[in-house]
Structure 1
Amino acid sequence: MKSSTKEKTIDGPKDMASASLRRGPLIGAITNPRWVLLVPFLLFVGAITAVSPSFLGIDNILQVLRQISVPGLIALGVTFVVICGRLDLSVGALLSLTTVTVIGLHDRFGPLGAIAACMGVGLAVGAVNGILVAYWRLNSLLVTLAMMSIIMSVTRIVTGGKSASMSTDTGWFSQLGGGYVFGIPIPVYIFLGAAVVLSVFLTRTTFGRRVFAVGGNETASEFSGFRSKAVIFGAYLLSGAMTGVAAVILGSRTMAAQLEIGSGYEMNVFAAIILGGTSLLGGAGGIWRTVCGVAVLGLLQNGLLQVGLPYYTQWLVTWAILIVAVWVDLASGRGRVWA
């Protein structure tokens, strides 16, 4: 079991690689989720740079890195869920609730109390999702869609339908989302630091290896002597926790939150995860793949704004990327481009 898990973690299954070779290098590249959008992306970067030379400037790159830190943190946690072969569509609504929580409680309980409450909410929602999906064996798509609706309702009830705000904070809390160290935004350090820790956690620990095993073949993992339910539960718990961390960064940066501040984040998160090469079928993926997917998606969205296109074009492009990435992922899994 360990050898097969390692194959999926680093290079992917051997039979899939050999199938790509048999189909030839062109078809093998077309059906490889990690490379299928590389050429269009490079062409896009070249075109945007020609129109707006500042696109690849250091200031704009740092701005993009700062912007992707929030969806990136969420994506790191959701990556564990996807590798387990499950989904979590509640993260956008949970980001709204946790951001409203950390902002709304800041003035009353101070930054530490607000952060603790925010993390508690994230962990609680992750635990409920984990129980319903792992132990009650309910469909993850339906569970997290229902949870998304529940969280949106709870957010409105808790806030009375009003946006949350806090007094101006000039202390350490405001620096989490808006500060700089050596000219680099602090959220970038937090995002990359979390990526390093979770990458080691995924690839070097027993839990991480079991995540791949459950996603690859849950039945076989049960016969291997460990509880797959506990692994799936842990993945959802981690997803909720990372959403809480993202909410702290977002709240620190905005100092206020509308009720739907996290709306649409779930689409960006899944587009980035799949774009990075983590398979929706489970059992294959990686933290640094997700980091690359988040960065590419952030550059694409920033480039659209650089050339003066309306903000909503980001959603159209993100949907297109998501559809193509899912198609390539499924095509790679079944060994052919067309169904």
Structure 2
Amino acid sequence: MGVQNVSLLIAIAFVVLVIGSQNPLFFTVPNLKVIGTAIAISGLLAVVQTLVIIMGALDISVGSIAGLASVTSAMIFTSAGPFIGVVGAVGIGLLCGLLNGCIIVFGRVNPVIATLATLAAYKGIAQLISDGRAQGYTGADPFFVFLARGSVLGIPTLIWILVVIALGVHVLLRYTTMGRNIYAVGGNDVASRLAGININRYILGIYMMTGAVAALAGILITARTGSGQPVSGSEGLELEAITAAALGGAALKGGKGTIAGTILAVILLGILTNGMTLLGVNSFWQNVAKGGLLVLAVVLQQLRSGERRIGLPG
């Protein structure tokens, strides 16, 4: 399991006991399903964000890609049906990811700056094509209803989608040559290049994969809300994804991280958010808590690394 994952399990158990003791509704099956479906979308983005971070990069634009894909899926759905809407949205996600990768590889731009710029650009495009309003109505379509409220073996469809994507990325990282190369690139890009790894190809491929999964998250937003949302439902998802990845043990310098740790961190964040809502805590404090957890995760990483802290004597 690793020390990081054990620590997260202990934290989850502690938070569950505290919240459950204050509000017994926390342990009801409907509420547990609410938690599961709520973390599905942020969990998808956290999984692929972990992949990017392990490679030694970052993608701040995932929330905006999800918003753009949400609008696209709904607008195409109204004229061509759900299948074409989903395919079109995923295609948009792939193009957005490819553009991110091209800016980084061929423009030689730092990934943080590149995706910070595209975060604003993709959000602007989503608002332009939708005129800043929700588009389409998918609430009566059986496919979108199944995505939002359906279940398989009693488990919500949203959770199954997260499980499948998380397992797929876990297998990729742990059992394939590509996964080992991703860790190698994040650990030491110079040595990886000298070893013959085509780093540019990996950057383009990982960002395209991230864009596609972010688009899938956007489709799920459309399914849950019943319409395409240019901003609502996707804003702030990038912070949640980065927080979950860092809290789950992904080193922001690259070369380290696991999908299991990220999923545990996503569950912890979901429980905290749900618990604060049940206990009547002001919703603004939820953002404060997420920001504080991100700072805590990075500080703990720095302390474990043994490196000299910036501004302090060795």
Superposition pairs for residues 224-243 of structure 1, below 5 Å?
224-243=195-214
For 1:269, the equivalent position in structure 2 comes to: 241
1:168–1:65 Cα change, 3 Å: closer
Could you tell me which residue of structure 2 aligns to residue 99 of structure 1?
Answer: 70
Shift of 1:58: 2.9
Amino acid in the other structure paired with 1:238:
M
Gaps of 5+ in 1: 1-9, 12-31
Partner of 1:291: 263
Partner of residue 206, structure 1: 177
CA-based RMSD of the aligned residues comes to 2.0
| Per-residue deviation, 1:38 | 6.1
Distance 1:295 1:259 in 2: 26
- Taking a change above 3 Å as real, the CA distance of residues 142 and 180 of structure 1, as seen in their structure-2 partners, is same
Q: Is 2:175 aligned against 1:178? A: no
The match for 2:167 is: 196
Are 1:326 and 2:298 matched, yes or no? yes
- Using structure 1 for the length normalisation, give the TM-score: 0.86
Question: Contact 2:247–2:294 at 8 Å: present in 1 too?
Answer: yes
Q: TM-score w.r.t. structure 2 length?
A: 0.92
What one-letter code is carried by the residue in structure 1 that aligns with 2:99?
V
Where 1:105 maps in the other structure, the secondary structure is helix
Q: Give the counterpart letter for 1:306 in structure 2.
A: L
2:46 is the counterpart of 1:75? yes
Which digits, 9 at most, give the CA deviation of each residue in 1:143-194, with x for residues without a partner? 1110011111111211122221315424223201221223211111111011
Range with greater deviation from structure 2 (110-119 or 246-255): 246-255
Contact 2:148 2:157 in 1 (8 A): yes
Q: Distance in 2 between matches of 1:121 and 1:170?
A: 22
Match of 2:113 among 142, 145, 160: 142
> Which range moves more in the overlay, 328-337 or 226-235?
328-337
CA 1:224–1:194 in 2, change beyond 3 Å: closer, same or farther?
same
Unaligned 5+ runs, structure 2:
none
Q: Counterpart amino acid of 2:126?
A: T
Matched residue SS, 1:198: helix
Partner Cα separation in structure 1 for residue 55 and residue 17 of structure 2:
37
The match for 1:315 is: 287
Residue type matched to 1:133 in 2? I
Shift of 1:127: 0.4
Q: Distance in 1 between matches of 2:168 and 2:14?
A: 33
Q: Provide the rounded CA distance (Å) in 2 between the counterparts of 1:66 and 1:132.
A: 34
Once residues 55 and 213 of structure 1 are traced to their aligned partners in structure 2, the CA distance between those partners, rounded to angstroms, is 42
Counterpart Cα distance in 2 of 1:180 and 1:40: 29
Distance 1:299 1:156, change over 3 A: same
Deviation at 1:34, TM superposition (A): 4.7
Distance 1:294 1:199 in 2: 15
Task: Give the Cα separation in 2 of the matches to 1:186 and 1:167.
Answer: 17
* Cross-structure match for 1:53: 24
Query: Structure 2 counterpart of 1:91, which letter?
Result: V
8 Å CA contact 1:123–1:241 kept in 2: the answer is yes
- 2: CA distance between counterparts of 1:188 and 1:135? 37
Distance 1:203 1:37, change over 3 A: closer
Q: Distance in 1 between matches of 2:55 and 2:105?
A: 11
SS of residue paired to 1:93: helix
Alpha-carbon offset, residue 124 of structure 1: 0.5
Report whether the alignment pairs 1:304 with 2:253: no
Partners of 1:170 and 1:109 lie apart in 2 by 13
Equivalent residue pairs, number: 310
Check the 8 A contact 1:33/1:332 in 2, yes or no.
no
2:82 matched residue in structure 1: 111
Matched, 1:282 2:282: no
Alignment check: 8 A CA contact 2:248 2:264 kept:
yes
C-alpha change, 1:82 and 1:167, in structure 2 (3 Å) is closer
Residues in 2 aligned to 1:42 and 1:203: alpha-carbon distance in whole angstroms:
27
**CA deviation vs aligned residue, 1:253-305 (integer Å, no higher than 9, x gap):** 21123321211111111111111111111000111211111111101111101
Go from structure 1 to structure 2 and tell me whether the alpha carbon gap of 1:144 and 1:91 turns closer, same or farther (over 3 Å shift).
same
Supply the distance in 2 between the matched residues of 1:128 and 1:254 (Cα, whole angstroms).
28
Q: Kindly indicate whether the alpha-carbon contact (under 8 Å) linking 2:56 and 2:186 is maintained by their aligned counterparts in 1.
A: yes
